[in-house]
A and B are shown apart, each in its own frame.
Chain A
Amino acid sequence: MKMAALCGEFGDLVQIKKQLISVISLCKERGLLHSAKWASELAFALDPLPKDELPPSAPFTEEDAQDLDALTLAKSYFDLKEYDRAAYFLKGCCSQKAYFLYMYSRYLSGEKKKDDETVDSLGPLEKGQVRNEALRELRVELSKKHNAGELDGFTLYLYGVVLRKLDLLKEAVDVFVEAIHALPLHWGAWLELSNLVTNIEMLKSLSLPDSWIKDFFMAHMYTELQMIKEALQKYQNLIEAGFSKSTYIISQIAVAYHNIRDIDQALALFNELRDQDPYRIDNMDTFSNLLYVKSMKPELSYLAHNLVEIDKYRVETCCVIGNYYSLRSQHEKAALYFQRALKLNPRCLGAWTLMGHEYMEMKNTSAAIQAYRHAIEVNKRDYRAWYGLGQTYEILKMPFYCLYYYRKAHQLRPNDSRMLVALGESYEKLSQQVEAKKCYWRAYSVGDVEKMALLKLAKLHEQLNESDDAAQCYMLYIQDIFSCGEQLEHAEVSTALRYLGQYYFKNKLYNEASLCAQRCCDYNDAREEGKALLRQISQVRDQIETPSADLFTPLSNSNTPVRRVSPLNLISFTP
C-alpha cells in the first residue's frame, strides 16, 4: 500500500531530474557549493534526459540584466575568496540573486575573519569570545527584509544560518522551515534544519512541504536520531523508487548499518561504494573503523594508501591512517595521525575518542583521560568516550571510581551489552554480587555481543554456591556459543561442560553427566577431568541400580527461581 503511494510520488523521475538540474544551476550561481554537489550527485544517479527535455534556464528579468556585469565581476571575486571585494561591488544591486550574493559574501567574510582571528587573538581566554562581527548587522538587515516579506528561499536560508550562529535556535528553526517551503529543493536548508532537530517529537511537530525530497530528509533524520530501522526502511523505499545508483544513499545505508553494528552488511555496501566512486573520501573513516573491527589489515592498508594519493590533508584520511597504524600496533604513529586530524578540524569527535584508545594502548592513562574528556566536551553524548574513561580507571584499579563512567555510558546506550558487562565486572570486583548478577543477566537479555555475560554470571553463581542457577547459566552459555556458529577465541565451553558434568553427577543424573564428560574429552584442557568423571560414573553405576524415575525427584523438589534445568541434548549442538 505504502509502496504504491511512493511509486506514485516518485513516478515522474523525469520531473525530478528536471527539478534537480534547475536547482543545480541556481545553487552554482549563488556559490552554494555543497548543495550543488548533493543535487548533482543525485541527478547523476538518474537517467540522462534527451536534449529537448532539458529544462529552460531561469527567466531573465530586467533587474537581472541591470546587475549582470556587477554580478559577474563579484562572482569571480567571490570564487577567489575575496569576499569583501565582492560585497563592495554588489552594493546597491537590486535583483534577488545579487542581494543574496551580497549578503552571503559579507557573511563569509565575517566567518573567514573570525577564523583568522582565532589564531591571532590577544590571549588564550579570549578565544572563546571571538565571533563573527558581521552577524549582528546581517541579522538586523535580514530581519527587516524578512518582516517586509522580501526574502526568497536562498536569503531565508542565509537568515536562518545567521540566526543559528547567534544561538537563536528557535527563530532559526522557524526560518529554515520557511526557507524549505519557499524552495524545497535546496538540500542545504534541510541539512541545517536537521542539525537543530533534537528529538522525534520535535521532528513530528514540524510542518514540512510534501515533496519527494522530504523522504531523503526523514531518512537522514532517522539515522541521526538512531532510529536505524525506520531509516533503513526509508532508504530501501528510495532505492526501489529509482535512486538505486545514488552513491549518497548507499553511503547513508552503510553508515546506518555501522551504527547498529551490522558489520558485514556495512562492509559490503562500502565496497560497492568504492567500486562506483573510487575517489570518494567522505565516510571513509567509518569504513576504516569497520575494517579495523574486522582486523582486515590488507584492505585497510590499501584504503589508506589510496586515500593518501587522493588527498592526504583531509580529516578522513588522517583517521584512516590512524586506524591503520593502530591495527599494526604502532600506537605512537596512530596517535600522531589522530592529532593531525584534530588540527585539521578540532571538533572532529571521532578522532578524540580514537586518540584516547591509542593512549590507552600505550598505557599513557593520563593522556587518554585528557583525550576522552575532550571528546566529551565536544559531545556529551559520546558513549565511547565515557566507556573509555571507565576502562582507563579500571586499568588504574579503581573499580568504584569507574562505575560512574560506565553508568554514564550505559545511560547513553541502555541496550549495549558491553557497558553492562563492564558494570558487572566492576561490581564483582567490589564484591557486590547482587548488582553484578543483575548486570550480567541484563547484558545477556539485551543480546550479548561478546558472549561473555553468561559465563561470568555462571561463575558468579558458582562462587555463591547457587549450583542450580550456575548450571542453568552454563547450559544457556553452551547453547549460545554453538548457536552462533563461529568459533570464538575466548570461548570456555570446556569449563561449562566440566561444571555441568559435576553438577549432574552430584544430582545423580548419570546419563547427562556421562554425556558432558564425553564432550569434555573433546577439549585438551578438560580431557583428564572428563575421563576421571566417566570412571566415577561407571563406578557409581555399578554400585547402585536404581530406577531412573527416582533420579528426577531431588531436582523437582528444589525450588530454583530460574527456569527448570532440563536434561541436555548436546547432540544437536555438535559443532
Chain B
Amino acid sequence: MMTNGVVHANVFGIKDWVTPYKISVLALLYEMTASKITLPERRRLNKLILPLQQGPDLTLGQFLQTVEECCPQTAYAVKLRLHEMADGELKDMEYFFSTLPTPFTAFDSEAYKTSVVGLFMRHMLLAYNKLSFSQVYKLYKSLQHYYHTLVADDSEMDLTSTEDTVGDRIDKEELDTPLHESELRGPLSQKQAEYFLARQAYLLKNDENKALKPAALQEELNNMLKFNPDFAEAHYLNYLNSMRVQDIFLSAHSLLHYFDRLILSGSEGKSNGDEGYGRSLRYAALNLASLHCRFGHYQQADLALQEAIRIAQESNDHVCLQHCLSWLYTLEQMKGSDSTVLTEDSVKMAAHFCLPYLASLGIQSLVQQGATQGKTAHKLMDALKDTDILHWKHSLSELIEISLAQTTSIWRMYGKSTMALQQAQLLLNMSSLEPVNFGVQQNNTEAFTVALCHLAELHAEQGLYSAVSEILQHLKEQFPPHSQHAKLWMLCDLKIQFERHMNEGKYLLAEPLVTAISALNKTEGLYRKAQVLKALNRSTEAYNILQRLQVHCEKTKCTEMIIRVMLSTAELHWESSGFSTALPLLLQALALARQHHLQSLASETILHLAFTQLMLGVPEQALSVLHEAIEPVLAHGAIMDKGRALLLTARCQIAAAGFKFAFAAYFSKLNCKERLRDVYYLQAQLHRSLGQTSQSNKSAMLFRLLDQELQSPAPPVSMRL
C-alpha cells in the first residue's frame, strides 16, 4: 500500500483479525443467544462482554474461569463447542463460522448490527472471510494448540508416560522457559492496543498509582512496538512514562519519535493547513518546550516555545498560539518573573477564541499571583466563582478540583482555618465528573494531594496527631514516593514532624529534618535551619541565615516568608534584650501582614508586639493590643497560638495587677481595712496559684491580722466593685 509515495509497512490495513481467543469469545456470544440463562447470570455475562472484547488475549483457562464465575453452565457449553472444533476437523470450524448469526442479514437478531457486539461479530466475520486457504489452516492449527494447552494443563498431574519421553519433556521445558513469557502474551490487535494505551494514559494523568509500574509499562510498550513499529501512540505513552521516572534522554527520544511518526499519518492530502502535518509540527515544538520546562531547562524551553510561536504565527493557528501563550506565562512564572500582563492577555484571547479550558486556567494562575501580591480577597474569590461557573458549564472536572484546592490554599493563607477546612472537605467529598472511572469515585490528582496536605497540617495545628498520621498514611498509599505528586506530602510530613519536635523541645531530633526539608524546598529549609539554630542558642548563625533569607524572599516576593523571618529576627532581638529594636521590625511585619490580609500572621505579630511591650514595662498597652488579637486567635489559631495568647494575657494582667495592688497603699492610707483585707486575700490567692509561697504566706498573714482585727465575716469578694 502506498500513500504519498511511501511504502507502508502495514500492508494489510486490517484493524482486527481472528485469533483463537476471539473464536472463544464468539462461541460465548453464540451460547448466550442460543441457550436459556437466568436473568442475574445474563446480567453478569453482559457486564463481562466489553472487557473481554477490549482486553488482551487471555489463555483459555483464564477465559473459561472468568466465564465460570458468572455462569458455569455457559462456560461448560463454550468449552464443549471449542472441544468439538479442536478435536474435530477443519470443517467443524468452518461450520461454526457459518452458523454464527449474521448481524448483516437478520434484523431481529439479538446482536444488532451497530451495537458493540454486532460490530465485533461483523469485524470477525469479515476478517475470517478475508483469510486465504493457508491462513485458515493456520488459524485452525493455532486453535487446536490453544485448546490443547488447556487440556494439557488440566491433565498434567496424572500424566503417565514412558521414560524417554519424560526426558524429552524436561529438555523441552528447560529450553522453553525463556520463550514462555512472550508466547503467552500474544500481540495485541489495533483495537486492543488502542484501548490499552488510552487507559494507561488516563491513569497516568489522573491516578498514577493505579497505572502499571514504570518498568512494567515500558516492557509492554516495547513489546507492542516490536510487533507494530508503526504504532506511534505507543511512543507518546513511552514519553509520558519516561517523564514519570525523570528520564530526560528517553523521554525526548520518544517524544520526537512520536511526532516524526505523527507527521506521516497526518500528511495525507493536506500539506500545510489546519489538519495537515504543519499542525503536528507546531505541536511538536510546543511539546518539546513543555518537556524542557518540566525538567527545568528554562532556556531550552524558551527557545522551543519561540519556535512553536513562530510557526504557529506563520500559519495563523490561533488555537496553537493560545496554547503557546499559556505556556509562555507559565514559563515566566517558573523563572520567577512577573507575568501578570501576559496572563491577562492570555485569558482575554482565550475567551475570545472560545477556549474555556485555557481561559480558566489563566484565571486560576492570575488568582494565584494576585493572592501572593496582596490583592483583596473579594476580588480573588469573585474571579474563582466566575471560573467555577464556567467549569460547571463545560464540566471541566479537573479544573473544578484545582479551583477547590486553590480556595483551600487561599483561605489557609488568610488564616481562616475553618473556611479552609470546609473547602478541603468539599473537595474530598466530591465525586468526580469524569465519565470513565473504572470503578472509583475519585481521582488522585494534584488537587487532591494539596487538599489532603492542608488537611493534615490543619489537624497538626490542633494537635490531633493520630488523625494526621492517618491522613499521611492515606497519602502514602495513594501517592507512592516515586509518583509525581509525592513531593507535596513529603514536605508536609516533614514540616509537621519538625514542628512537633520543636514543640517538644527535642531540637536535636529536628535538626536532621532540616536537610530533608531543604532538599524539597530550599527557602523553607533555610527558615527551619534558622529556627533550630535559634533554639540551640546559636544566635549569630541564625541571624545571618535570617538576613540572607529576607533578602532572597524580598526578591521573590514571598510575603508570608518575609513576615515569618521578621518575627524570628525580632525573637532574636529579645534574646539580646533588644526589645526596643524589635519594635519597629514587628510594626513593619504587622503592616505587611495587614496589607496582604494574612490574618494568622497578623495575630502572631500582635502577640509578639504585646510581649515586647510587656517586657518594656507597659503591660496596659500590651493588654489593649492583645485584645485585638485574642479573638481571631481563639477562633482560627492553632492551639499553640491559643495557649501563648492566653498566657500572655495572664502575664500582662498580672503585671498590670501588680500595678493595681499598689492601690493597696491608697487603701491603707484610707485605712479602709475591709477592702485592704480583700486585696490581701486576692494577692494571697494569686501568689499561691502562681506558686510563690513566701509571698502568698506574707499576704495571708497580713490578711489574717486584719481579719482578726476586724472580727467580722468577710463578704464575697466578687460582690463588690
Contacts and interface: CB of A to CB of B under 8 A. Distances in A.
Interface of A: 120-129, 136, 139-140, 144, 332, 335, 339, 342-343, 359, 364-367, 369-371, 373-374, 377, 389, 396-401, 404-405, 430, 432
A124 B281 contact: no
Contact of A398 (B7, B176, B187, B281): B281
Interface in B1-48: 4-7, 9-14, 17-19
A523 B233 CA distance: 57
A157 B135 CA distance: 34
Contact of A370 (B187, B188, B264): B264
A127 B230 CA distance: 12
B303 A122 contact: no
12 contacts: A120-B132, A122-B138, A123-B187, A140-B172, A332-B5, A343-B7, A366-B4, A366-B267, A369-B263, A370-B6, A400-B288, A401-B288
A369 B4 CA distance: 12
B509 interface: no
Contacts of A136: 175-176, 179
Given A122-B131, A140-B171, A370-B260, 14 more contacts: A122-B19, A125-B227, A128-B226, A144-B171, A335-B5, A367-B5, A373-B257, A373-B261, A374-B9, A397-B311, A398-B311, A400-B288, A400-B306, A401-B285
B134 interface: yes
B228 to A, nearest CB: 5
B18 A122 contact: yes
Q: Chain A at the B interface: mostly helix, strand, loop or mixed?
A: helix
B76 to A, nearest CB: 29
B285 A124 contact: no
B7, B10, B13, B18 — most chain A CB neighbours (10 Å): B7
A120 B175 contact: no
B288 A364 contact: no
A373 B139 contact: no
B304 interface: yes
Nearest to B182: A129
Contact of B188 (A122, A125, A335, A359): A125
B175 A124 contact: no
B307 A400 contact: yes
Contacts of B229: 377
Interface residues of B, number: 54
Nearest to B301: A400
B525 to A, nearest CB: 34
Contacts of B330: none
A122 B288 contact: no
A374 B187 CA distance: 21
Interface in B161-204: 171-172, 175-176, 179, 186-190
Contacts of B187: 123, 125-126, 128-129
A401 B261 CA distance: 15
Contacts of A140: 171-172, 175
B135 A367 contact: no
B60 interface: no
Contacts of A120: 132, 134-135
Nearest to B7: A339
Contacts of A126: 17, 187, 227
Contacts of A371: 6
B285 A122 contact: no
B285 A400 contact: yes
B119 interface: no
A442 B6 CA distance: 38
Contacts of B190: 125
Contacts of A339: 7
Interface string B506-536: 0000000000000000000000000000000
Contacts of A335: 5
Given A120-B135, A124-B11, A369 B260 contact: yes
Contact of A430 (B12, B303, B311, B314): B303
Interface string B268-287: 00000000010001001100
Given A122-B131, A129-B186, A398-B307, A367 B227 contact: no
A377 B253 CA distance: 13
B219 to A, nearest CB: 15
A369 B264 contact: yes
Interface string B95-138: 00000000000000000000000000000000000011011001
Contacts of A366: 4, 263-264, 267, 277
